[in-house]
Amino acid sequence: MALIEQIDILLIGNVMGLLKISINSVIYYQIVLCSVLTYLGLKMYICIVQLLQKSNYKRHGLEYGYSQPISAHVTSHHSKAGTPTMGGIVFVIAWICIVFLHANNIPNSHSKGKYSIIYPYILIPVAFSLLGLYDDVKKIYYKSNSGIRAKNKFIFQCLISFLLTYLLFNVSLFKAIWWSFVITATANALNITDGLDGLAVSCSIIIIATISLITSNAIGLLFLFSILIFLQFNKYPARIFMGDTGSMLLGSVIAILFLTHNLEWYLTISGLVLVLETLSVIIQISSIKLCNKKIFKMSPIHHHLEHYLHEKTITKLAIFITIVANLLIIYLI
């Protein structure tokens, strides 16, 4: 509970006021409940993983079982070995509960029925998260960073997002293709960004806060507090990683929040850091294949910057860029 008390009550009041949501006992207790359950869930998950690691080490001499393998190419991250991963599981549980609690706040302009709007809000992020979970488990099992092949992963993502969007949302075939592209691109962009302690989570908090502010969305607000609690465990030095399980869900949730309010073009500004991270990977791969030459020392660009700056400084820089970009969106809208 000490961690929960650190959240400034003034921040809660200001955010809720900006979102034009009355500070009644129901909303307040839902925020507290969501925050406390996220905190307890993470503490329990970390304890379980650490016990499994100790048990695995005693039996097989494998000290870092049940944790994400650290890339050998990023030498500054070797100290992170043994950090529990797949913490994004708590996001799945939190998101499902929040959507059911506030189904009446979901915009139904794209709904095929009175309650059917709940299903895409849940099924698309959960499907992406399950794909990320399989990727995480594969990495742990084979003790490798490769996971699912990028090409296969992209195909699965496109199929999942297109089929669920077309079947569950009241949109045309062309719009379903466009929405599936936005969802897949955002999920992958956030996954690419998730390479430093607190980086992707911090950017996600600002992006979700912005879309919640603009649209007066109680769902985004409640989910925001769940992510804020996770950040306390994920900030430098991280005690847990969200893994693909979390980044896939967060990315798809962000995309859906923008898409269902017809604000997807603003996502390129709101998620400017995500765009830059993705572009750095595309530029690097293209340069190697076409010119057999690297543009960056490493990609994504946050690893390139690690050759010059500490990762805490890089994360702060990304937060600053994201804040400025999202203030611009608020001004424009």
Per residue in 288-329, pLDDT tens? Answer: 999 999 999 998 999 999 989 999 999 999 999 999 999 999
End-to-end CA distance of the chain: 38
Tell me if 245 sits within 8 A of 92, measured CB to CB.
yes
Which long-range contacts link 208-212 to residues 24+ away (Cβ below 8 Å)?
Answer: 208/253, 208/254, 208/257, 209/15, 209/326, 210/270, 210/326, 210/329, 210/330, 211/254, 211/257, 211/258, 211/261, 211/263, 211/270, 212/19, 212/257
The predicted structure's pLDDT at residue 15: 45
Task: Note the pLDDT tens digit of each residue in 166-177.
Answer: 988 888 999 999
Q: Percentage of the chain surpassing pLDDT 70?
A: 80
Task: Note the pLDDT tens digit of each residue in 4-20.
Answer: 344 344 344 444 444 44
Mapped onto helix, strand or coil, the DSSP state of residue 169 is: strand
Cα 45–chain centre separation: 18
At 316, list the tokens. 């702060």
The predicted structure's pLDDT at residue 276: 97
Average pLDDT along the chain:
83
Q: Percentage of the chain surpassing pLDDT 90?
A: 49
HSE at residue 331, side-chain half, CA atoms within 13 A, is 7
Mapped onto helix, strand or coil, the DSSP state of residue 111 is: strand
Residue 223 burial (10 A CB sphere; 0-12, 13-18, 19+): buried
Task: Note the pLDDT tens digit of each residue in 224-268.
Answer: 988 998 999 999 998 889 999 999 999 999 999 999 999 999 999
Q: What is the DSSP string of 1-42?
A: -HHHHTS-HHHHHHHHHHTT----HHHHHHHHHHHHHHHHHH
Tell me if 311 sits within 8 A of 77, measured CB to CB.
no
The predicted structure's pLDDT at residue 41: 83
Proportion of the chain in helix, strand, coil states, percent, rounded to 5:
75, 0, 25
Query: Is residue 133 scored above 50 in pLDDT?
Result: yes
CA 68/CA 161 separation, integer angstroms: 26
